[in-house]
Amino acid sequence: MRVIVVGAGVLGTMHAWHAAARGHEVVQIEREPEARGASLRNFGQIWVSGRAGGEELQTALRARELWEGIGEGVPALGFRATGSLTPVRTERELAVATAATERPDAAARGYKLLTADEARALNPALRGAFSAALWCERDAAVEPRTAQLALKEALLASGRYTFLGGREVRDVVDMPNGAAVRDDHGDTHTGDAVVLCTGAWLGGLVKELAPELPVRRVRLQMMQTDPLGEELPTSVADADSFRYYPAYGGDALRALVDGQPQEPVAAEHRMQLLMVQRRDGGLTIGDTHAYDEPFAFDVLEEPYEHLAGVVEGFLGRPLPRVRHRWAGVYAQCADTTRVVHREQVRDGVWLVTGPGGRGMTCSPAIAETTADELGW
């Protein structure tokens, strides 16, 4: 078979990966010289901890297994089984963390409630004040700014893969057998299947092919610091993250939401702290969530000040200088319980988008499902 993949973010690249691994010829077309969308702007968290039980968790666990396997062959991905710690300070936060460890699927996630000393034994950089922490052993991380390039190099080495950067796909061309797309150079690319993994670009071609797409866009603010000067062995989240991830839903979360309001700036920008150390020692820190379009084109300082304060509280030391600030946009299924939106939009042409804030985590497994369903 010959598979045409449109979009070179993590979702497109993982489709290319599975197609090539199954012996097919792959042509991947990207409108930028190299991808620079959500897949490069994210934390690189392979985030199992907050996933909803059932299909979402199964997808994340399978994806983590795939990431680890791919990472063995492609060390430049920077796959690390970091695990994560969510320190808690109040009784209400502790109750949510405790309830998480009592879930029937807690063992599959590697959840454990730790004392502050036990948490510091795993992550000595957490010198600030907290009373306990939720440990999720299954969480992991990769390097988002270089992962796509590393995967591309490995795909090129397969001899079955062609990358066409700097070409925007404009049309789907009807074919009697198979499928084809036309790019902005006027070239037509023909295959047995076309998979559009065009991320949060929901206008233009995607709107023509799927006018009623049940997918929305979400914008996040992020930052990255100079090297910390010491190791941060685990990823770190704050208790605000309990409010955003379905795994924590229940009576304890309701008591937290009702009885312990978020700080106003965190509530206004729908914030949580997630933090992961990059291989150069810098910290990637976020995030905010904006849903109303048009999105602001500037990044706001107040959310950064809030995040810096939360991080300094956990580390018990000043934050290193901030080196980068940026925003990113991802596409999310309007029904957030759905892992992804996969739709056949023409004969031989599939659109796969909307993995939301879990796309970096789940893409290997989402692409594997596409490959299985399409009989690759």
Ligand X SMILES: Cc1cc2nc3c(=O)[nH]c(=O)nc-3n(C[C@H](O)[C@H](O)[C@H](O)COP(=O)(O)OP(=O)(O)OC[C@H]3O[C@@H](n4cnc5c(N)ncnc54)[C@H](O)[C@@H]3O)c2cc1C
Q: Which residues bind ligand X (CB under 6 A)?
A: 6-12, 29-32, 35, 37-39, 41-45, 47, 168-169, 197-201, 205, 220, 222, 286-287, 328-330, 353, 355-361
Q: How far is the CB of 121 from ligand X (least distance, A)?
A: 25
Round to whole Å and give the CA distance between 16 and 195. Answer: 9
Q: How far is the CB of 183 from ligand X (least distance, A)?
A: 7
- Please identify, using beta-carbon distances, which residue of 154 and 255 lies nearer to ligand X: 154
Q: To which residue do tokens 């047995």 refer?
A: 192
Round to whole Å and give the CA distance between 51 and 209. Answer: 30
- Please identify, using beta-carbon distances, which residue of 6 and 194 lies nearer to ligand X: 6
- Please identify, using beta-carbon distances, which residue of 179 and 256 lies nearer to ligand X: 179
How crowded is residue 55: how many other Cβ atoms within 10 Å of its Cβ? Answer: 12
Round to whole Å and give the CA distance between 148 and 145. Answer: 7
Round to whole Å and give the CA distance between 32 and 13. Answer: 14
Round to whole Å and give the CA distance between 178 and 200. Answer: 26
Q: How far is the CB of 26 from ligand X (least distance, A)?
A: 15
Closest CA to 25 of 48, 45, 5, 41: 5
Q: How far is the CB of 98 from ligand X (least distance, A)?
A: 25
Q: How far is the CB of 124 from ligand X (least distance, A)?
A: 24
- Please identify, using beta-carbon distances, which residue of 169 and 213 lies nearer to ligand X: 169
Q: How far is the CB of 116 from ligand X (least distance, A)?
A: 25
Total residue count of the chain as it appears in this document: 376
- Please identify, using beta-carbon distances, which residue of 121 and 156 lies nearer to ligand X: 156
Taking CB atoms, the residue at the shortest distance from ligand X is: 359
Distances (CA, A) of 249 to 87, 134, 257, 336: 18, 15, 10, 14
- Please identify, using beta-carbon distances, which residue of 132 and 164 lies nearer to ligand X: 164
- For residue 168, what are its two tokens? 């925007």
Going through 287-347 in order, the beta strands assigned E by DSSP cover: 322-333, 341-346
